[in-house]
Amino acid sequence: MLDLKQLTHVYPNGTRALDDVTLSIPKGMFGLLGPNGAGKSTLMRTVATLQSPTSGSVTFGDIDVVREPERLRRTLGYLPQDFGVYPRVSAYDMLDHMAVLKGIASARERKDTVETLLNQVNLWTVRKKAIAGFSGGMRQRFGIAQALIGNPELIIVDEPTAGLDPEERNRFLNLLAEIGENVVVILSTHIVEDVADLCPRMAVLAAGRIQLEGAPLDLIARARGTVWAKTIDRSELDAYRTRYEVISTRLFAGRTVVHILSPQDPGEGFTAVDGGLEDVYFSTLAQSRRPVTDAVAA
């Protein structure tokens, strides 16, 4: 179990990236959803011991992550948003080098580890190819391979499918699902479908705070009856934004489908949306942007 308690991080310029974050993350896949700038990467870097929080605590089992970063690193696998490698080195040689850095001194053990991981992420046939020649999806699968060195018990992946084509995204998510059965895996992303596909539990982070937490199906059920849809002309959109709390818009057959948040039937041709995780996410973001006085009144 990973426990975050009252975690706050304020950068030297005064930006409060994390504001009193408290979370308990069990074994399995956990989705951390949030828009760009929400504080997700700051939270992941803090858990990964790459920066210290201004205040609060992080524990993983009996490890005090802030006070004992080296203990956490021995059981951590991390795929950051910007994963840099030596581009001219082959996948095999790079993994071998990283295994050395992870403390696997035995050449035989490293060979077994590297070969197993390359097969697991389906990169064995290109093991001698320079990483510079890899596609985006292949680079991400290599990133997971390096994160799995040493059989980590905590794995963090930050925006892993951004920029991947649908086929590579599907392949990558299947790989994450396989490794997420027996360890804690945190999937930090702004892509709602990734969390919907993989994660039995999730949280929404916005403006540095946890805005919502729970099981996706429970959160969807809780939001039922509060999201309404209507197809309108695009020229009407500004007027609807003035009158309703618009949480999302999308185009369909050249017209605009608007989703609004309302605790009761707004009439005027709106129909109730059965709902999905995307509506839960957008409605949560809309509520997080309300002025404090409005939020208290609600």
Query: For 101-151, how does the pLDDT look when each residue is reduced to its tens digit (9 = 90+)?
Result: 888 989 999 999 999 999 988 899 999 999 989 988 888 889 889 999 999
Do residues 161 and 189 lie in contact, with contact meaning Cβ atoms separated by under 8 Å?
yes
Within-domain flag for 146: no
| pLDDT(294) > 60 | no
Centroid of chain to Cα 63 = 23
Same domain as 25, residue 162: yes
| pLDDT(296) > 50 | no
Task: Give the model's pLDDT for residue 291.
Answer: 66
Same domain as 32, residue 14: yes
Task: Give the model's pLDDT for residue 86.
Answer: 73
The pLDDT of 28-55, averaged and rounded, is: 94
> pLDDT-based confidence at 171, cuts 50/70/90?
confident
Helix (H) or strand (E) holding 91: helix 91-101
Amino acid in the structure at residue 114: V
Site of tokens 């540095």: 208
> pLDDT-based confidence at 200, cuts 50/70/90?
very high
Residue 70 and residue 106: Cα distance in Å, rounded? 21
Phi, psi of 270, rounded to the nearest 5 degrees: -75, 145
| pLDDT(292) > 80 | no
Same domain as 53, residue 157: yes
Q: Mark which of 194, 214, 234 sits at the end of a domain.
A: 214
> pLDDT-based confidence at 298, cuts 50/70/90?
very low
The pLDDT of 227-254, averaged and rounded, is: 92
Token pair for residue 136?
């985006």
User: Model pTM?
Assistant: 0.86
Same domain as 201, residue 173: yes
Q: Which residues pair with 79 in a beta bridge?
A: 157
The pLDDT of 61-69, averaged and rounded, is: 96
The pLDDT of 232-250, averaged and rounded, is: 93
User: In 3D, which of 145, 56, 140, 26 has the Cα closest to residue 96?
Assistant: 145
Same domain as 255, residue 206: no
Same domain as 272, residue 181: no
User: Quick one: the chain helix, strand, coil %, rounded to 5?
Assistant: 40, 30, 35
| pLDDT(13) > 60 | yes
Within-domain flag for 236: yes
Within-domain flag for 113: no
Structural domain count of the chain: 2
Query: β-strand 16-25 against 2-10: which pairing, if any?
Result: antiparallel
The pLDDT of 25-52, averaged and rounded, is: 93
Task: Give the model's pLDDT for residue 7.
Answer: 97
Task: Give the model's pLDDT for residue 275.
Answer: 74
The pLDDT of 209-235, averaged and rounded, is: 93
Most confident by average pLDDT, 82-91, 201-210, 249-258? 201-210
Task: Give the model's pLDDT for residue 96.
Answer: 95
Same domain as 291, residue 195: no
Task: Give the model's pLDDT for residue 295.
Answer: 44
Give 5's contacts (C-beta < 8 A, 6+ positions apart). Answer: 22, 56, 57, 58, 59
Same domain as 226, residue 205: no
Within-domain flag for 55: yes
Same domain as 175, residue 59: yes
Tell me the residue range of the domain where 263 lies: 221-297
Give 211's contacts (C-beta < 8 A, 6+ positions apart). Answer: 204, 205, 284, 285, 287, 288
